[in-house]
Amino acid sequence: MRSLSSLVRPNILSLAPYSSARSEYSGKGSVFLDANENPFGIYNRYPDPMQKALKEELSGIKNINPESIFIGNGSDEVIDLCYRIFCRPGVDNAITIIPSYGMYDVSAAINDINLIKIPLDQNFQLDANMLLPYNNDENTKLLILCSPNNPTGNLLENIDDVINNFEGIVLVDEAYIDFAGSLSYIQKLATHPNLIVTQTLSKAYGLAAARVGIAYASREIIRLFNKVKPPYNVSALNQSAALTALKEREEYENQKQLLLTERKRVAEVLINAPAVKKVYPSDANFLLIAVDGANELYQYLLNLGIITRNRNTQIPGCIRITIGTPTENDELLNAILQFSI
């Protein structure tokens, strides 16, 4: 890995971050006249800018130091911050895989970063050799990998190779890791200072509405995230919802088991549907299917009020289907079994 300071944008390295009213004192206050809040109400106070309680809880669960944890307004914020911390607009470039999560592209475009897209092979795996030329490009700062990948559903096999050999920062997006029977790359943080792992409470923890994403990385990288984030980027309501969900994680474990059972059942029925040509193996809470007439099937389901994700333009002939409740899945299956083009 190149030195961290050579990978960070110079203006971020030298940035004096905003110092919020609540982070400037230590000790116990009882009269708060520092932040121009309304003294009345329930939600009248700014939230903890550093989300200490939430980080403590995550630290216990993940066995990682709280100083190696950043909480974002969804993992979409983590992705955006990675571009903003490491890539100079109009100068630096980043790399990702295709097909993958659309926000890597959108966020790069917003930040005026040239995003190089490496196509996955026919098994939706990455050939790590394709990254090697970029190790000689000192403007290549960031590589974004998604595992399990959206929309293909599979874990990437050779991330180890990549994090061992890539000279820049590697962001591994593990939004769907809770549904995969594999260890998180959080395990590798201690030995790989170029690694950032992002996870989310939007999927297995059922908190998409609350917008809570997490980045795990070295303390040095987390300090950079803290410098750049808006001071109160995670609301008190969201912090509280996240804390409750994490404390009740047995409940989410049960939901996850049900979703995994349903994933298997839905896949087995789908493969026998006349229109379905292939059901791709999934390590996530969705299935990618190849069908005869993707646009037509998508529209047919839409007319029945069943919304799926048409991925035909990304992967010809493919639709991505999220695993729902057993009743919702039955509705979907009944509809697809009756479809023919």
Which residues form the interface with ligand PLP (CB under 6 A)? 74-76, 101, 146, 150, 173, 175, 200, 202, 208, 213
Strand 309-310 with 276-279, pairing: unpaired
**CB contact at 8 A, 254 and 319:** no
Look up residue 139 and give its two tokens.
């403007």
Q: Which residue has its beta carbon closest to ligand PLP?
A: 74
Report in angstroms how near the CB of residue 14 gets to ligand PLP at its nearest. 29
Q: Smallest distance, Å, CB 4 to ligand PLP?
A: 24
Question: Nearer to ligand PLP by C-beta: 146 or 301?
Answer: 146
> In the bound complex, what is the minimum distance in angstroms from residue 256's beta carbon to ligand PLP?
16
- The answer to whether residues 323 and 266 touch, using CB atoms and an 8 Å cutoff, is yes
CB of 235 to ligand PLP, least distance (A): 14
For ligand PLP, give the closer residue by CB, 93 or 100: 100
State both tokens at 132.
């090697």
* Residue 53 or 208 having the CB closest to ligand PLP: 208
Strands (E), the chain: 69-72, 93-98, 114-119, 140-146, 169-173, 195-200, 213-216, 276-279, 286-291, 309-310, 318-322
User: Least distance in Å: CB of 212 to ligand PLP?
Assistant: 7
| Minimum distance, C-beta of residue 77 to ligand PLP, in the bound complex (Å) | 7
Angstrom distance (rounded) from CA 69 to CA 63: 11
Cis before residue 99, ω within 30 degrees of 0? yes
Work out how close the CB of 198 gets to ligand PLP at its nearest, in angstroms, rounded to a whole number.
Answer: 7
Q: Are 269 and 337 in contact (CB under 8 A)?
A: yes
Helices 75-86, 103-110: crossing angle, 10 deg rounding: 40
CA pair distance 284, 322, nearest whole angstrom: 9
Sheet (strand 169-173) strand order: 69-72, 213-216, 195-200, 169-173, 140-146, 93-98, 114-119
* 22 vs 320 by CB, closer to ligand PLP: 320
Comparing CB distances to ligand PLP, the nearer of 20 and 314 is 314
Query: Which residue, 173 or 262, has its beta carbon nearer to ligand PLP?
Result: 173
Q: Which residue's CB is nearer to ligand PLP, number 47 or number 99? A: 99
Query: Please, which residue, 146 or 246, has the CB nearer to ligand PLP?
Result: 146
Nearest distance in Å: CB 16, ligand PLP: 28
DSSP 79-143: HHHHHHHH--TTT-EEEEEES--THHHHHHHHTT-EEEEEEP-TTS---GGGGGGGGG-TTEEEE
Q: Among residues 167 and 200, whose Cβ is nearest to ligand PLP?
A: 200
CA–CA dist 179, 175 (Å, integer) = 9
User: Minimum Å distance from CB 182 to ligand PLP?
Assistant: 16
Give me the residue label for tokens 């809470």: 285
